[in-house]
Structure 1
Amino acid sequence: MFVHNLLDEYGLDPYEFRIYAHAVRRTGGKLDGKYFASLNKTAEICQMSVRKAQYALKFLCEAGFLNQEKRKGRTDQYRITHSREWAKPENLEVIREKVTGVKRKKSQNNSKSAKSKPSTTKQSNEIDVVNLLTPSQIPTDDL
């Protein structure tokens, strides 16, 4: 599996990253692909609590990684989005706090790395999602 550095270094926590990887797999990495497993099944597959899966899914929707479609009497449906629709990495903590209602303490390492990281250019921010997380694929020239 290949994970592009844009996604790997974007700032997702391990739960968000795992749920996103699962969603990409379930949709086949296609922007028009649909993912609609139950929350319980998603949590089980991703080996986390239902609450953690719920927070991660809500975060991914709020941060623009996934689009959610409510379906009356059925499980919600999700679609992955293009990376240009994602919230900026510097806004992720605010979104996380909004979703969970908990203000998290930043570690010293996170603060240093956030300040020393160069900002992502528009070109690298517009990488096709299929190329961000693709099984057994070598990165293409546009990466």
Structure 2
Amino acid sequence: MKKFILVLSLIIGVSCINKSAAQCDSIANMCAKHIISTFISDGQQYRSLLLNSEEYAEFHTTFFGETTYRIAACSGRSDGNLIFNIYDQDRHLLFSNHSQRNAPYWDFKVKSTVETIIEAQLDVNKNPGSGCAVILIGFKQK
């Protein structure tokens, strides 16, 4: 009986993981529409499963000087469900899409190379449940 319960728990756990991965794949595909042809993807998909609007996902990346970037942020089936903030290494806020009505992307150019922290959080007013947070980054070719 213990083996049966253990196997059943394992099957349910794997099924939930597969559903979460499929959900993140769908969101990443929808989010990719914001990395338009003038931008080249950095090849990464920054993903995190957020269980509620109080959780944060944290991603670290480096932006190289004299380069124009686009960050796209998505969760759920429509734009505007994800709040993202970009900080420098000293946690100075560089940008927040919250003040831009949760805009799904942001274009910017950095003057010099900077290491950043990107935080993502579900908007409690638009997506009170859990969800997959996806951040995509593209850059313009010089």
Report if TM-score (shorter chain) is over 0.5.
no
Structure having the larger proportion of residues in strand: 2
Structure having the larger proportion of residues in helix: 1
Q: Which has the larger radius of gyration?
A: 2
Shorter-chain TM-score range: 0.3 to 0.5
TM-score (norm. length: structure 2): 0.33
TM-score (norm. length: structure 1): 0.33
